């Protein structure tokens, strides 16, 4: 009986493990959302943003200025919280596989007004001149994100 329980537990653990992606947080290609022309140089080796120096020009300052200059706020009191757009920068500095995550001011799931979401996504996709990740003189694909702290529909802060 004990041997049966051990073997059963092992099979259950194996089945659970197999259902997870190779790396937590990977953005898999989705034909409904993604540009099929966006090519990842090495799908098995996409670095997280904190592993390497992938960045946008003077990153923080220029990105914040870009959004504050181009974003048109949808002034509504309830549109307060955090909207994050996560994406991949490939080894050529091109971006793709954009995903959006939305939270209210209390970090609970939230759905922002469609005009806010579509405008921030369009502006993010329009950013060019990303520098791909480099490590030990080799260029890699990497993940990046931009988080917008919104207050009443206006950008209060761009993170990180």
What value does the mean pLDDT of the chain take? 81
| Peptide bond just before 160 cis, omega within 30 deg | yes
Whether the predicted pLDDT of 152 surpasses 70: yes
Structure tokens at 66: 């870009």
Q: What is the pLDDT of residues 40-69, one digit of tens each?
A: 988 777 766 655 655 555 577 888 889 999
| pLDDT confidence bin for 77, thresholds 50/70/90 | confident
Query: In this structure, are strands 138-151 and 46-47 parallel, antiparallel, or unpaired?
Result: parallel
Total-model pTM: 0.78
Q: Could you give the CA distance from residue 126 to residue 106 in angstroms, rounded to a whole number?
A: 30
Largest CA-CA distance found in the chain, in angstroms, rounded: 69
User: Residues of the chain with pLDDT > 70: what percent?
Assistant: 76
Q: What is the pLDDT of residue 92?
A: 92
Asked if 22 contacts 45 with a C-beta cutoff of 8 angstroms, the reply is no
| pLDDT confidence bin for 5, thresholds 50/70/90 | very low
Q: What is the pLDDT of residue 121?
A: 97
Q: What is the pLDDT of residues 78-135, one digit of tens each?
A: 899 999 999 999 999 999 999 999 999 999 999 999 999 999 999 999 998 888 888 8
| pLDDT confidence bin for 23, thresholds 50/70/90 | low
Instruction: Identify the three-state secondary structure at position 55.
Output: strand
Structure tokens at 45: 């080796």
Q: What is the pLDDT of residue 124?
A: 96
| pLDDT confidence bin for 15, thresholds 50/70/90 | very low
């Amino acid at each position: 009986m004990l041997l049966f329980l051990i073997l059963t537990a092992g099979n259950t653990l194996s089945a659970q493990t197999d259902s997870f992606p190779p790396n937590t947080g990977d953005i898999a290609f989705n034909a409904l959302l993604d540009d099929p022309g966006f090519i990842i140089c090495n799908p098995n080796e996409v670095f997280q943003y904190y592993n390497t120096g992938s960045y946008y020009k003077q990153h923080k300052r220029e990105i914040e200025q870009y959004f504050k200059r181009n974003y048109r706020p949808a002034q509504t009191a309830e549109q307060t919280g955090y909207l994050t757009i996560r994406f991949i920068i490939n080894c050529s500095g091109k971006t793709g596989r954009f995903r959006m995550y939305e939270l209210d001011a209390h970090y609970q799931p939230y759905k922002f007004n469609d005009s806010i979401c579509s405008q921030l996504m369009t502006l993010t996709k329009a950013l060019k001149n990303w520098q791909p990740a480099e490590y030990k003189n080799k260029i890699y694909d990497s993940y990046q994100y931009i988080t917008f702290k919104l207050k009443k529909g206006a950008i209060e802060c761009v993170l990180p």
